[in-house]
Amino acid sequence: MKTILFSLMLICTLVISCNSQNNTNNNMEEIKSPHYSNTDTNQVVVPNAEWKNLLSTEVYHVAREKGTERPYTSKFESSKEIGTYYCAVCGNPLFKSDTKFESGCGWPSFYQPLTKSSIIYTPDNTHGMKRTEVQCGRCHSHLGHVFNDGPLPTGLRYCINGVVLDFKKADEAKKRYDDKH
């Protein structure tokens, strides 16, 4: 009886350990999609079935199903680090940290995208509201919405789900550039 109980406990421990390792490996910071690039500007057209296999459940829900993460849960919401924010799905550069501001809305907020092609805009009339959805200009993943209540110079507030953002510190990017040249 003791041997059976010990065996069951050992199996449970192994299953829990494997599950927690799988959850850790499902983090976009550790495993990037084969479509992820900070320099490629080509459009990424991938069926949602493939994205579902490549992305974590949380990233997939926001990026491909137009979900929303809970407010005040993003590690980027109050971050003051200097660098660049990228699409966590495809690596497209989206925002510089110097355009980020504290809006109090619960999500990372920016007043200007990095380039005009970083973001695409689509009407969103869901939930009885008229809003403008913002998507990644490269892979068309849902990022969040843009509102007309931001600071100068644009007066815009790009309210972005942090789970679909990737961040690289300015010195890390410079070091990678220097190493290649």
* Catalytic center residues: 159
Contact 117/137 with Cβ under 8 angstroms? yes
- What gap in Å lies between CA 56 and CA 77, rounded to an integer? 20
Cα-trace Rg, the chain: 19
Give the H or E element holding residue 61. helix 57-65
87: helix, strand or coil: strand
Contact 109/157 with Cβ under 8 angstroms? yes
69: helix, strand or coil: coil
The set of residues, in sequence order, having a beta carbon less than 8 Å from that of 19 and lying 6+ positions away, is none
